Every structure is written in C-alpha cells, then in structure tokens.
Amino acid sequence: MSFTFGAFDNRQLLGVVTLFMEKKNKLKHRANIAAMYVYPERRRSGIGRSLMIEAIQKAKEIEGIEQIYLTVVSNNKPAKSLYHFLGFNTYGIDKKALIIDHTYFDDELMVLFV
C-alpha cells in the first residue's frame, strides 16, 4: 500500500512525497517516506513541511504503523533540518550510498517513532 501526496497551485505541481508501507509480516509495523521533492523555486515556502505532515498523519491513521523511515543525502542541510523539526532522528549513515559524476555522497538514515 502506498500514498502519494502532491502540492498544487492552479493545477501546477509544486511538490510531492510518497508514503509506503512494508509488506513483509515482520516489517508491517514500518512505513517509509520516499520521493520527497519540492521544485527549487518553491522551496522554503512551507510546502515540504505540509507534504511531510500529511504523510506522517496518514501513517498514524494506519493501524499497526509504529515507525516511519526515510533517507536523506547527508549534505542536504535544509531537508535534514525539516526532518529533525518534524521529530525524525538519525540512526545511521550509509557511506558512499550514491555516486554522481564520480563523487560519492553519504545517506543519513532517519526514523520517527509514532
């Protein structure tokens, strides 16, 4: 099961976030945030926060969900600040998780207990 939330202005998409639930029995208490994106010209306007609040609220409404997980590129300070503000905590670092143009980036692993 998954839910994708979008923010629009006059039918123009400004941002999206997807919430999906784990399917395996031993992981069904977990949900994940993926595909969080706000167009650059609309960042720092509260759209990302609103989208995340909607996704978190939806997860809380689903029986059995106890934890919400996400990953964020370690050098993405604005996103990390938002996630910390919303109550997410870092529990690990995935070293060299991404490579873009021959440059490695770490992913920060975060969780919110609901």
Render pLDDT for 37-59 as a digit per residue (tens, 0 to 9). 999 998 999 999 999 999 999 99
The CB-side HSE value for 43 (13 A sphere, CA atoms) comes to: 11
pLDDT given at position 58: 97
Q: Minimal CA–CA distance to 78: which of 40, 24, 21?
A: 40
What's the token pair of residue 10?
């006059």
Mean pLDDT of 26-31: 96
Which CATH number do you get for residue 36? Answer: 3.40.630.30
Sign of the alpha-carbon dihedral angle for 78, 43, 101, 73: positive
For the segment 70-90, what is each residue's pLDDT rounded down to a tens digit? 999 999 999 999 999 999 999
State which residues form the domain around 99.
Answer: 2-113
pLDDT given at position 78: 94
pLDDT given at position 5: 97
How many domains are contained in the chain?
1
What's the token pair of residue 53?
């609040």
Q: What is the value of pTM for the model shown? A: 0.92
